[in-house]
Amino acid sequence: MRTTSSKVRATAVGIVSLLLLASGVGLWTQFVPSESAQHRADPEDQKQVTFGETIYRAHCAACHGPRLEGQPNWRERKPDGKLPAPPHDETGHTWHHADDQLFRLSKLGVKPPLAPKGYESDMPAFGGVLTDQQIWAVLSFIKSKWPDHIRDRQERINEALRQRQAKKGD
């Protein structure tokens, strides 16, 4: 079971790396199979949201902004070639990703296996810093800032990922 799924994962990561080279940042995580599809960030859970806000302020706000507004000119690469931190509010592309992908990006950082070898990014991996529960809480807080129509659209992205995973038998 595990062996098969790590093989699948290894293959997927290879394909993903190629795709990313061809298509630019932003889409690849949709193809990375999930370990944690059962988890979800819940913006309706007030306890999670309040807990998540303290984590956001301590660990994310310095780059993603106290109001989730991101860094100035976040669409343009900096002189060092790296991208600034994008907003996490509805003006950014955070909500273009399923919960599970946001979790992985936050835990593993924007680097392999979620980005191709050699991709350089300032987004740290929080895996060694925050627990899974803290990461889900911070995502709950971020989602609580989205208006309803954005939450609905992101929920459709979650649903599409669930269906792809169900098809693969993941």
Site for ligand HEC, rule CB under 6 A: 25-26, 59-60, 62-64, 83-86, 92-94, 97, 102, 105-106, 110, 121-124, 126, 138
Nearer to ligand HEC, 8 or 112 (CB): 112
Q: What is the CA radius of gyration of the chain?
A: 16
Nearer to ligand HEC, 7 or 93 (CB): 93
Question: Token pair for residue 162?
Answer: 């669930």
| Residue 137, SS3 per DSSP | helix
Least distance (Å) between residue 106 CB and ligand HEC: 4
| DSSP tag of 90 | T
Least distance (Å) between residue 40 CB and ligand HEC: 15
Least distance (Å) between residue 92 CB and ligand HEC: 6
- Rounded distance between C-alpha atoms, residue 100 and residue 91, angstroms: 20
- Rounded distance between C-alpha atoms, residue 49 and residue 61, angstroms: 15
Nearer to ligand HEC, 12 or 141 (CB): 141
Nearer to ligand HEC, 48 or 94 (CB): 94
Nearer to ligand HEC, 24 or 169 (CB): 24
- Rounded distance between C-alpha atoms, residue 94 and residue 102, angstroms: 7
What does the DSSP assignment read for 21-51? HHH-TTSGGGGS--S-TT----TT-HHHHHH
Least distance (Å) between residue 123 CB and ligand HEC: 3
Least distance (Å) between residue 37 CB and ligand HEC: 17
Q: Residue 37 is which amino acid? A: A
